[in-house]
């Protein structure tokens, strides 16, 4: 044996013997290759004589041989040895894709020890939550900064730059985008970048409040204004947002009668509470959002044209996730890291086939749908990998597992291949009608022509 190698192995043995955790290593036949001295001592065996023995004959209720057989890791599993319940982790050892053994760790020597550790962790998490809640109370109500908005695609970079440019003024901003694209998050970021960042950020969803209550929610009411009114009255969202920002989400769902009253407030910069005849001056920056085409609502007489121009001084259009697929890996990593921080678990990684499917999927629910999918997979998966099978069935229906050996090339190259496949499928579905394919994919006519040219998709068999 090489002298240095022998010395290294001896040092490794000493290090593993010094651990509180008990360690065992088996080969592909589930025979013991190594066991550290504390574990051997507890088992009542001599370490040297245990080497080469079948692990089942040495360790009571072991599952090391099963890990070798099925290649599946087992985390935080109960195991009874000599009348004591312990908690163990077991991992397969692979070489060139083949399982050649397994390694196991007994982390907690009894369940009481684990419960003590769990109690300490819960106490620390509780303390952290206390300070977080205390900090939140001091905040203005906006929580998402521009740096929290994940994405390096050209489309998102352009949106972020536009937000930075308009944040410093008081112009009304209309944020447009499909459901789930993050309109509210951008309203938060706009407020925190503005000169009003220390003042309140107040939000209200116009679609979630009945028409007969919306006026009092926005403008407040005086004492005795109606049956059930609070003594002393109640401030509305405009009063609460004074000197700050008021975010009206789903502005396209606001009833016409309320649109007229909102327009008057924006023109006069003063509000009149329900049941009061007193006008109150307000200083509020208005940010609105909608997923609806307001221009069509104006044409149909369902949205006031004068209000449309009042709220649409600056328009910010958020791209759907399908138009910025290159952001998907970074978004997935962000959501997984956030879940890991919340739960105290190590952040898992997406396998190549899971990431490939996420890049191919259309994401009709956009970033919100993706966040929900990641959270579901996070809790349903075990270990440090999220496989294709762990993704929600809505993503994987009719999809077979992709052979990892087929996933080749850089991320940019894989994204390009996925985009090309999606374009081809859309054109086949639309029988070569490029404009119809563009509409189905939610992209512009110019965009699809550019992409078809880039990928040299000019086959007359599917392009009309």
**Is-above-0.85 flag for pTM?**
no
Whole-number Å distance between alpha carbons of 390 and 379: 9
CATH number of the domain at 146-319, please?
A: 3.40.50.300
Task: Give the integer Cα–Cα distance in Å for 74 and 431.
Answer: 50
What's the CATH number of domain 322-407, 1.50.10.10, 1.10.8.60, 3.10.20.740, 2.40.160.100?
A: 1.10.8.60
How far is 87 from 388, CA to CA, in rounded Å? 28
For residues 45 and 54, what is the distance between their CA atoms, to the nearest angstrom? 13
Domain 416-454, CATH: 1.10.10
If we measure between CA atoms, which residue out of 93, 17, 26, 106 comes closest to residue 58?
A: 26
Looking only at the bridges linking them, the beta strands covering 84-95 and 98-108 are antiparallel
pLDDT one digit per residue (tens) for the chain, 464 residues: 444 434 555 666 677 777 667 899 999 999 999 999 888 988 889 988 999 999 999 999 999 999 999 999 998 888 888 777 788 899 999 998 899 999 999 877 665 665 565 555 555 555 565 555 555 545 567 677 887 788 889 999 999 999 988 988 899 999 999 999 999 999 999 998 888 988 999 999 998 888 888 888 898 888 766 666 667 678 889 999 999 999 999 999 999 999 999 999 999 999 888 877 788 899 999 999 999 999 999 999 999 999 999 999 999 999 999 999 999 999 999 999 989 888 878 888 998 889 999 999 999 999 999 999 999 999 888 778 898 888 998 888 765 444 444 445 666 677 777 777 777 777 777 777 888 878 777 787 778 887 888 777 765 545 44
Per CATH, the number for 3-113 is: 3.30.450.20
Backbone torsions φ then ψ of 178, nearest 5 degrees: -65, 165
Phi-psi region of 4 (alpha: psi -120 to 50; beta: other; left: phi over 0): alpha
| Sequence spans of domains, the chain | 3-113, 146-319, 322-407, 416-454
Centre a 10 Å sphere on the Cβ of residue 251 and count the other Cβ atoms it contains: 26
């Amino acid at each position: 044996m090489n002298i240095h190698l022998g010395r290294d192995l001896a040092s490794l043995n000493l290090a593993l013997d010094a651990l509180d955790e008990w360690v065992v290593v088996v080969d592909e036949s589930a025979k013991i290759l190594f066991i550290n001295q504390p574990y051997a001592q507890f088992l009542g065996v001599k370490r040297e004589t245990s080497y080469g023995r079948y692990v089942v004959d040495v360790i009571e209720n072991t599952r090391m041989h099963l890990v070798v057989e099925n290649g599946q890791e087992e985390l935080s599993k109960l195991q009874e040895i000599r009348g004591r319940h312990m908690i163990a982790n077991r991992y397969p050892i692979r070489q060139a894709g083949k399982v050649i053994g397994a390694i196991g760790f007994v982390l907690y020597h009894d369940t009481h020890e684990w419960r003590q550790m769990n109690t300490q962790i819960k106490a620390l998490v509780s303390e952290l939550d206390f300070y977080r809640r205390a900090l939140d109370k001091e905040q203005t109500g906006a929580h998402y900064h521009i740096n929290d908005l994940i994405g390096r695609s050209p489309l998102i970079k352009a949106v972020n730059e536009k937000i930075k440019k308009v944040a410093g003024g008081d112009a009304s901003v209309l944020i447009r985008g499909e459901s789930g694209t993050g309109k509210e998050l951008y309203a938060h970021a706009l407020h925190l970048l503005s000169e009003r960042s220390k003042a309140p950020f107040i939000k209200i969803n116009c679609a979630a409040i009945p028409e007969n209550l919306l006026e009092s929610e926005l403008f407040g009411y005086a004492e005795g204004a109606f049956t059930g009114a609070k003594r002393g009255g109640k401030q509305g969202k405009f009063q609460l947002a004074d000197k700050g920002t008021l975010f009206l989400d789903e502005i396209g769902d606001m009833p016409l009668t309320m649109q007229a009253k909102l327009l008057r407030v924006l023109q006069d910069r003063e509000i009149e509470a329900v049941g009061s005849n007193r006008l109150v001056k307000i200083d509020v920056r208005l940010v609105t959002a909608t997923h609806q085409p307001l221009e069509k609502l104006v044409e149909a007489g369902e949205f006031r044209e004068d209000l449309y121009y009042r709220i649409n001084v600056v328009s910010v259009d958020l791209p759907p996730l399908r138009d910025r697929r290159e952001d998907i890996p970074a978004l997935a990593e962000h959501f997984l890291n956030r879940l890991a921080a919340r739960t105290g678990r190590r952040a898992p990684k997406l396998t190549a086939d899971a990431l490939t499917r996420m890049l191919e999927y259309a994401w009709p629910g956009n970033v919100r749908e993706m966040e929900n999918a990641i959270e579901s997979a996070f809790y349903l998966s075990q270990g440090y990998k999220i496989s294709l099978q762990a993704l929600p069935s809505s993503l994987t229906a009719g999809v077979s597992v992709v052979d990892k050996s087929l996933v080749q090339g850089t991320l940019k190259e894989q994204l390009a291949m996925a985009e090309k496949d999606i374009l081809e499928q859309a054109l086949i579905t639309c029988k070569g009608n490029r404009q119809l394919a563009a509409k189905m994919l939610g992209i512009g006519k110019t965009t699809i022509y550019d992409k078809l040219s880039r990928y040299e998709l000019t086959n007359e068999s599917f392009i009309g």
